[in-house]
Amino acid sequence: MDLGLLAPEISLAATAVAVILLDLFVERKGALAIVSVIGLMVSAAFTIAMFGDPAQVSFNGTLAVDSFALFFKLLFLGIAALVILASVDYVSKFERFQGEYHALILLSALGMLLMATATELITIYVSLELASISLYILAGFLKDPKSTESSIKYLLLGATASAVLLYGMALVFGSTGTTQLGEITQQVQALGAQGVADNPALVLGIILLIAGFGFKIAAVPFQMWVPDVYEGAPTPIVAYLSVGSKAAGFAVILRVFSSAFGLPDWLSLDWGMVFAVLAAIGMTVGNVSALPQTNIKRMFGYSSIAQAGYLMVGLAAMGVASAGETIGQSTILFFLLSYSLANLGAFIAIIAITNKIDSDLIEDFSGLFKRSPLLTLGLTLCLISLIGMPPAAGFMAKFYIFGGAAQNGLLWLVIIAVLNSVVSAFYYLRVVKVMWLGEPASVEKVPSSGALRVALTITCLGVLFVGILPGFAMKAAELAAKMFGI
Amino acid sequence: MAFDIAFWLLAIVSVVAALAVVTLRNIFRAALSLVLCFITVAGLYVTLSADFLAAVQILVYVGAISILLILGIMLTRDVQLGSPTNKLRFPAFLAAIVFFGTVAWAVLNTTWGISPQGPLEPTTATLAGKLFGENGYILTVEIAAVLLLAAILGAIVLVREK
Amino acid sequence: MLADFGFVGLFIIVAIAFSALLIILPVVFRYLKIVPYNPNPIKNATFECGMETIGRTWVQFNFRYYFYALIFLALDVLAVFLYPWAVELRQLGTSGFLGALVFIIVIVVGYLYAWQKKVLEWK
């Protein structure tokens, strides 16, 4: 046992406990946000200190600390910190439960960190539940009918997805006799092509795993919860859901499918094609449904379904690519980084705007440029990144991920994806047009707190930096993808 | 022989109880059939030589979860209206049948690897080693503790007035 | 081990048979004309501690019960994890003890929270 390897998780858990306890005695609740952010930064410092160390397996094979895990840990810690910064204004309106709000965000982040590092099915499941249960609660935090409805829908569908996932894990365990990902791949390879064909329970198990994880990343046809949950849940939590929970889902899928079912090639080809089909349907459904939306949160719900579709193009490429090639993995990591920055940035701007105008309708964003030029500029940049236009990060992300798929012979999928990007430009640019060209409803300025401005600046600079100088981020992603699978 | 009879009896009762949970209109009765289902599942664990798990099933599910469930029903307003009819009942039933058929086909057509070792006799000590021992899942146990903490926190947040 | 559970099964079978017998016997006796059968409204009324029922019997519980049930559930799960540890206390040694200690501390934080937030008080 080596507790040092768990330093980021332990410090994060300690911060969460400290926030819960401090909340009982501290009167000024604003301090809790500061404690949370400091805790996240300490955890991130531990993570950064571990970069470059050789990958290690610890706790009897339940977790692997490799650069793949570290990459995701940093991503989750950054996302959680930005969400807490973005919630400062939002939370100050709560009469009660500010401490719990921060504690639950930290606990959820802890679950995501563990998801990225776990290499054993039971540990993956428990971590996933920790991340999800905190999010179910956070979704219902406002306690108005809409928020409660979104929480209940998320809980019920999430519980069903968990059951499906457990069923899949049970079948995989039954066919291979182990829950360790590394041992599963040995068993699967020992079975051989004929062995797997004679073993439909294993195949069914893999399909159920795809379904269970597909819920987390909002892949079609497990996306039903997305628009309703996004519409009802508190806006900062929606931001957290749309990037954190999705990235965590992809972290687990990448880990499970490339280390347990990545070999032999014919097997990865099979699930690669499943992901290719899911990707094509997901992008199309998400983008077409987003077109007529009038509520910006719902629109972002459908847009996140579409983005999950683009990300799954990478999963398809990963499955189709021959063993040892990591182009699918590294482009997914890069895409997740740029998507997280852009989507978080967009939501931070939306939080600031909706705090003032008290409406989620796109038409009420009319003429915002005249009321708050900087917020409008930030939101526009993030929307451009989500479409995938230069100079924003989204362009490079799409360029890499589609390029990787095209190299591996998935040209048909890339064509669908590019067509979809064109469709997506319609609804993203509609928001931009309303903000820049519409008539403002009033001339009142839109105020924003320092924390929000800091968060928005970080994300916007990130979007620009990754977009203009993608080499650095791509290097990190490639490194993370290479170290993978130990 | 007695073993087979016990298994089939438990299996049939548990399936019938589970069907009753979804078909009964009165949700209080549905909850009670769910408890019956939990008990028979505990019995099934016994037939699989998982004695500790059977005890846990009785203690946690039959003891605590069912109380929580029935309390939940007793907290609900207009509970005597029962579970409302749903026009998706039939499609849902069909989907369930298809899923059942697929799983049954897959499980029956698989040649399962069967361990040559007999079942452990008292399982508690071995489980203790697996949960808290040097070569066990101690990390997973601690994550479960944090999960429980999050659940306590969440339940209090959601149930207390704003 | 299975034989021991056989006794549990036997006990359950006897319990079910006994309960069923208590329901079936009066019906059989009435059919055999061993007991008389002249119902009237007072005889058919629900008997509850000698009092007549007023209003609906279905009352909505106070939601505070829910907290107790939930805290009890957490305690239950805690006990389930600690029981095997207690059985193997000596063999598991210090590391097992520390593991259990961390487990308990994390749950105790939850209790402390519930206590300080006055969830356990009945007002």
Could you report the per-residue pLDDT of A48-78, keeping only the tens digit for each? 988 877 778 888 778 888 888 999 999 999 9
Q: Find the mean pLDDT for residues A249-265.
A: 86
Identify whether C107 is part of a domain: yes
Does this complex have an ipTM over 0.90? yes
In CATH, what number is assigned to the domain containing residue C25?
A: 1.20.58.1610
Which residue has better confidence, A96 or A435? A435
- Over residues A240-267, the mean pLDDT reads 88
Question: Is pLDDT at A129 greater than 90 in this prediction?
Answer: yes
Q: At residue B77, does pLDDT exceed 50?
A: yes
Give the mean model confidence (pLDDT) for residues A179-204: 86
Is residue B90 included in any domain, yes or no? no
If pLDDT is split at 50, 70 and 90, which confidence band does B162 have? low
What value does the mean pLDDT of chain A take? 89
With CB atoms and an 8 Å threshold, state whether A17 touches C106.
Answer: yes
State yes or no: pLDDT of B81 exceeds 50: yes
Burial (CB < 10 A; 0-12, 13-18, 19+), residue A286, is: buried
With a pLDDT cut of 90, the percent of chain A lying above it is 52
Judged by a CB distance cut-off of 8 A, whether residue B114 touches chain A is no
For chain C, what is the domain count? 1
At residue A345 the predicted structure's pLDDT band, cuts being 50, 70 and 90, is very high
Instruction: Flag the least confident range among A364-378, A429-443, B141-155, C41-55.
Output: C41-55
pLDDT at A89 over 90: no
Is A130 touching B (CB cutoff 8 A)? yes
Mean pLDDT of chain B: 87
CA distance A120 to A118: 6
* pLDDT of A30 over the 50 cut: yes
CATH code, B74: 1.20.120.1200
Domain extent for B34: 1-81
- Token pair recorded at residue B97: 């049948």
In B, minimum Cα distance to A141 occurs at: B158
One domain, residues B67 and B1:
yes
Same domain, yes or no: B1 and B77: yes
Whole-Å CA distances, A119 to A184, A483, A485, B128: 11, 14, 9, 22
Q: What tokens appear for C90 in the block?
A: 């000596």
Q: CB contact, 8 Å: B86 with chain A?
A: no
Q: Is residue B32 in some structural domain?
A: yes
Domain count, chain B: 2
Contact list, A145 vs chain B (CB under 8 Å):
none
Radius of gyration of chain A (CA): 21
Tell me the C-alpha distance between A332 and A326, whole Å.
Answer: 10
Q: Is residue C83 one of the residues assigned to a domain? A: yes
> How many Cβ atoms are within 10 Å of B162's Cβ, its own excluded?
10
pLDDT at A480 over 80: yes
Does C122 reside within a domain?
A: no
Read off the pLDDT of each residue in A262-281 and give the average, rounded to a whole number.
86
Over residues A5-20, the mean pLDDT reads 92
Is residue C48 over pLDDT 70? no
C118 contacts in chain B (CB < 8 Å): none
Taking the C-alpha atoms of residue A64 and residue A324, their distance in angstroms, rounded to an integer, is 19
Residue C100 lies in a domain: yes
What is the spatial distance between Cα A44 and Cα A343, in angstroms, rounded to a whole number? 21
Q: Are the beta carbons of C60 and B142 separated by less than 8 Å?
A: no
Best probe of the C interface among B148, B158, B162, by most C CBs < 10 A, is: B148
Q: What is the pLDDT of residue B15?
A: 95
pLDDT digits (tens, 9 = 90+) for C59-99: 777 777 888 888 888 889 999 999 999 988 888 888 889 98
Within-domain flag for C123: no
Res. A260: pLDDT tops 80: yes
How would you classify the pairing of strands A56-58 and A63-65?
Answer: antiparallel
Q: Are A343 and A306 in contact (CB under 8 A)?
A: no
Could you list the residue range(s) of the whole structural domain that residue C38 is in? 2-116
Q: Does B100 touch chain A (CB under 8 A)?
A: no
Between residues A269 and A19, the one the model is more confident about: A19
**C42, part of any domain:** yes
CA distance B22 to B48: 27
**Interface membership of A48 toward B (CB under 8 Å):** no
pLDDT at A321: 82
Residue carrying structure tokens 């100088």? A469
Determine, yes or no, domain membership for B9: yes
The answer to whether position B104 is within a domain reads: no
* pLDDT score of B144: 93
Q: Are residues B73 and B131 in the same domain?
A: no
Question: How far A61 CA sits from the closest chain B CA (Å)?
Answer: 9
Choose between A89 and A311: higher pLDDT. Answer: A311
Q: For B124-141, how does the pLDDT look when each residue is reduced to its tens digit (9 = 90+)?
A: 888 888 888 877 888 999
Please tell me which of the candidates B60, B64, B125 has its beta carbon nearest to residue C88.
Answer: B125
Token look-up 């949950």 returns: A229
- A150 pLDDT more than 90: yes
pLDDT digits (tens, 9 = 90+) for B141-152: 999 999 999 999
Q: Cα separation of A237 and A347, whole Å?
A: 10
Are B52 and B128 contained in the same domain? no
Residue A408 confidence (pLDDT):
87
d(CA A177, CA B113): 8
pLDDT for res B124: 86
At residue A486, the pLDDT reads 42
